Every structure is written in structure tokens, then in C-alpha cells.
Structure 1
């Protein structure tokens, strides 16, 4: 035993030192983790300190890997010692960069998440914060990757080029496609000029109507009234003519258009439409003081077209928002149709008149008689 100790004294001490250093590092990591987690839970009791927990796991893994690599030095000969020492340094450097990058990105994301929650709580627009959170998240990881590349001599030229302002653009332009860049620029335009924001109800066409739920670097997401998520590239939505029902005044004028037959009483149809509109709970009185003084009707109803088979009557009904206007339109079509049925106002529908010549009729009758004889 004494001979073994004498022969391997330096190795044993080295192993014990490495193990002790790893245990001490893990101990202090746990200690700082508990302190930070306690403060975080005290300050934000409803949040889980995911960033702190993730950092602890990464650091513990890093200390373990470095400890194992340090123990491997025992079996390395002098010729390979320098090469392995360089690899040890690379692992240590990349590990520290990874911890710093992930921690910074997670802290930044948490800060933006809290700021967005405050904005929503105070009924302020969180669109800019959401978009900036994506840019910050991307930038932090981009810088982290560049710093990690710097440790490799063969890739150092690329990293140094990417660090420069012109280099960033060159790298992005070389890696990303033209469409991806168009989406990124489109997202910047949306945030800068604000044609819409998160929470607004927009309409691109009859099939794409809904509430904006998110604006990312690549696309905009809207939730339609079937609860389906529609993903639209920013480059596309920037080219489209859209309707924003929440931009400026939220009051919405809903057209109620119904066609009646030429035999129906126009005055009765207009009276029914106006009466049903004015009795709906979502209707708003959009008249000016002068209109009220002149006893103008709350809902304007006019004949707008004399078609081939129908007289088209339109009512201009105002509601507080697009949602209220849509529900009002559905209710009014149903109630007006029932009133028309009860009071004899006809709604025309397409029909076809077939005309048979005498010769064709006689031929048709002969064919029928032939079939009957058979």
C-alpha cells in the first residue's frame, strides 16, 4: 500500500483535487441557484424561475464534463498534452459562451414577457415589445454563435467578418433567401408604420378575417372566427389591401341588403327592415344633432337597385364594433325574413321557364304512347 502511494502520489492528489474542485463548483452553483430562486419566487410568486433552473443544469453539466476531461490528462503522454489542453480550453470556452448566451436570452425573453403582460394589463399596445423580443432573441444567439466560432482558427475569418456591421448584412444575405429577407423587412415595416397591431381585427378577403395574435420576424398570425390560426408571411400582408376594424373609430356601419319581388309593397318592406334594425340591441344612433332635430330616422333605408327579378333595399345599421355588427347582421337577416313571411313580402329566387314548340310536344307524346304500348 505504501509502495502504491509512493508510486502514484502525484496522480492520486491530482485526482482528489479535480474531484474536490468539481464538487466545490457544483456546491456553489447550487448555493447561488437557491439564493436566486428564493429571490425570484419572492418577487414573482406566480412565475417558475425557468432561467435559473436551466442555468444550474447547464453549469452542473459543464463542471462534470470539464472534470472528466481533467482526469483524462492522467493518461495523456507529453506529446499529446498540448493538443488535449487546447481541446480542454475549447470545451471550457464554448461552455461559458453557451451558458452566457442561453442565460442572457432567457432573461431577455422573461423581461419582455413581463413587459408585454403589463402592457396588456394596462390596455396598451404590446406589438412593438413582441417584435423586439424576437429580434433580441435572434441577436443574442447570433452573437453567441459568432463568439463560439472565434475559438476555431479555421472559422475565425468568418466570425470576424460577421462581427462587422457590413459583415452581418453579408452573412445574412448569403444565408437567407430573398423571401426570408422580404418577410423580415415586412415585419419591420409593420412595427414601424403600424397598419395594425396585436389584438386588432383585420380583413384581407372574405376567407381571412380575424384577430391578430402575433407578429414575428417572418409572419403574422391571425385567429379567425372558426378558431383557426392563419399564418400570413409579412411580405404578403404588406402587399395586400386590408381592412382594420380597430384602426381609429371602432364604430362599424353594417349594410343589410335584401331583394324583394316587384309585386311586393316597397314601403312595407322598408318599414319592416327599419323597425327590425332599430329594435336590435346592438344598434347605435349615429345621427347628428341636426338630424335628430329634423326628425331623421335612426336607420336609413333606401332602394339601391332595380334588378332583373328583384328590387334591392339597403339599410345602413351602425354598431359599436365589428363583432357587434356581424352578430347584428345575422340576427336581422333572420328576423326580417320571418317578418316578410308573416306580412306577405316576397323574396324572389332564381327560376327557369321552359318553352316547348308544338312539333317537339307532338314528338314527345308519340314517344310516351310508344312506351306505354310496349
Structure 2
């Protein structure tokens, strides 16, 4: 057997050995992956699966090819060393590309696991919408870094490219300034969490509604009139917001009633509290309580405070309590006065 034939057989054996070794390592990674699943370590299992499928064969074959390329001059001395150098550069560039794909795959796996965990915790929809954007940004950064490494390896000056990219980025940022501000505001809402989907909030304009969607650009609120209010996130974080559902969904109901002077206020207060206790929407804890709030010009003003389980019950409960108190006062002969003004006429006796 000639030396050339032996070398070719050796090279083929090296390639075949890289395939066999990659197969063995793949089997070991599969075993570790199953062990991680048994221990419920999902992130590690997904990363091992990604490495096994995406980069294992590529790395081992690249190592084998690099050894073969550098072994060629010993067998073929007539081969120009510049060709070997070019081949080595191609192998290094391909290795950089494979490394970038590996890093990108690990980052994608981490984002997917984190997104799934947040979805299980029923985080706002902005979280779910945020992760595709993060994945795209991370993909772009990995590609950009890989390209810059390749250019630097080839001896190409990347300073002008970096400056051009900076200028282009500044121009794009100015063009989409409002979108970027709303997106950043959406991210701040996601982390600060002043409200969640399903919460009932009151805006500084006085509008009250339920949060139905929190997006990266805007938030949608459904009012009692079934109208949808769409507010840019930038405007939303700059105004005062009252969360009527957090930290406790219960809300206070207030009923103001005036009784005539001379009325037994203790009896009137007991009637108001009894009416509230008998209402099905009023909570027992804390119990409803009535007070003499002030002495008006025409009446003794009483105020009843009670709590209901949800803001949606507050309006109708207040109206029903007002009507029931009016009826009960009528049955107990408690007078609800109307405003009265006493006018005294003064006569000038000098002209009479």
C-alpha cells in the first residue's frame, strides 16, 4: 500500500471516527437529558437537547477537517501553503458561525423557558409580547458580533462600519421615537406592575374600566359603556392611576341621607345599618356602619359606609341601599326634609 493510499485511509478514518465519537457523545447527552427531566430541571434539559441536535456533529467534523487540512502539506508538498491558509481561514469562519448558532440557541432556549414560566404565573400579556422582541434583538446582536469577529479575523477595519451603524441607529431611533418610548413604557409597566389584566382602574380623566390587554405599545381598557379606550403606554405611566382591584378587590359604598331635626339619630343609624346588613352584596366584615356626618341647614346628615366584594357591585348596591333606606324611613315615620328657607320681612315704620 502506497503512502498516499495510507494517508487517504487515515483521513477517512478520522472523519469516520468523528462521526462515531459524536454519536457516542450524543447518546451520553441524551442520557443526561433524561436525568434532568426526571429532576424537573427543564432549562438544562432543553440546552442539552439543543447542543445535541445543533452543534455536536458540526464541531467534531470541523476539528477533523482542520487536522486533515493541516496534514495535507506533509503528503502533498507541492500544495501552495497559501491554499492551506485560505482553507484554515474558511474553517475558522465556519467555526465562528457554528459558535454563534450555538450561543443563539442557548439564548433562545433560556428565553423560551422563562416565557413559559411567566405564562404559568399568568403574567400580563406584555410579558408574552416582550419575549419575541427580546429574541429578535438577541439574534441580531449575536449575528452582528459574529460578523464583526469574522471581519476582524480577516483583517478588515471595522471602525468605519461601527461608526456607520451608530449613525444609522441614531437616525432610526429618531424616526421611531414615539414607538420606542411607548415600548419602553410597556416594559416598565411589565416590571412595575401597577395593574394587571382584569384589574379595574380609574384614569386621571375620570374614566373607569377593566384592563383587557397590556401591549408593548398601548394598553386597552373596557369601560362600563362597553367602549374600548386605547392609551399609549407613555401617556399611561405619566398620569395618576387608581387601581380599584388591588391589593383588595373589595370597595366601599357610601350612602348619604338627611333626616329632620328632632329625629332620633340613633334609631335612624340602626335602621341604615340593618338595611345594609340585609343586602346580599354587602360584606359582613367589616360590618356596615352609619354616622352623623354633619348638621346641615335643613337636616341632620347621616352617612352609611358598607363594603362590597367587587367594584362592579358598587353602583347598583349604592342605589338599592338608598331606595331601601328611604322606604324603611317611611315605614318608621322618619322624616327626610327638603331644603327650607325662613324669610323675615322688615318694615320701615318711618314711611308708614
- Between the aligned partners of 1:174 and 1:72, the Cα distance in structure 2 is 48
Q: 1:34 Cα deviation (Å)?
A: 2.4
| CA distance 1:222–1:144, change in 2 (3 Å) | farther
Is the Cα–Cα contact under 8 Å of residues 224 and 230 in structure 1 kept in the other structure?
yes
The equivalent of 2:185 in structure 1 is: 186
- Between the aligned partners of 1:183 and 1:69, the Cα distance in structure 2 is 50
The equivalent of 2:340 in structure 1 is: none
- Give 5+ residue unaligned stretches, structure 1: 258-271, 301-314, 341-374
Is the Cα–Cα contact under 8 Å of residues 149 and 156 in structure 1 kept in the other structure?
no
Residue 307 of structure 2, aligned match among 291, 295, 319: 319
Structure 1 moving runs of 4+ over 6 Å: 67-74, 205-208, 221-226, 228-231, 272-276, 285-288, 331-338
Tell me, yes or no, if structure 1 residue 24 matches structure 2 residue 21. Answer: yes
Is the Cα–Cα contact under 8 Å of residues 282 and 325 in structure 1 kept in the other structure?
no
The secondary structure found in structure 2 opposite 1:11 is helix
Is the Cα–Cα contact under 8 Å of residues 283 and 306 in structure 2 kept in the other structure?
yes
The equivalent of 1:57 in structure 2 is: 53
Q: 1:191 Cα deviation (Å)?
A: 6.0
- Between the aligned partners of 2:29 and 2:222, the Cα distance in structure 1 is 43
Q: 1:180 Cα deviation (Å)?
A: 2.7
- Between the aligned partners of 2:111 and 2:45, the Cα distance in structure 1 is 13
The equivalent of 1:368 in structure 2 is: none
The equivalent of 1:264 in structure 2 is: none
Q: TM-score, normalised by structure 1?
A: 0.52
- Give 5+ residue unaligned stretches, structure 2: 73-78, 257-270, 294-302, 327-352
Number of equivalent positions: 291
Residue 101 of structure 2, aligned match among 92, 98, 103: 98
| CA distance 1:328–1:242, change in 2 (3 Å) | closer
- Between the aligned partners of 1:155 and 1:333, the Cα distance in structure 2 is 76
The secondary structure found in structure 2 opposite 1:150 is helix
The equivalent of 1:235 in structure 2 is: 234
Is the Cα–Cα contact under 8 Å of residues 220 and 231 in structure 2 kept in the other structure?
yes
Provide the alpha-carbon RMSD of the alignment: 6.0
Superposed CA offset, 1:201-251 (max 9, x none): 4345899833477675x555779999x999854224235554321456654
- Between the aligned partners of 1:49 and 1:22, the Cα distance in structure 2 is 23
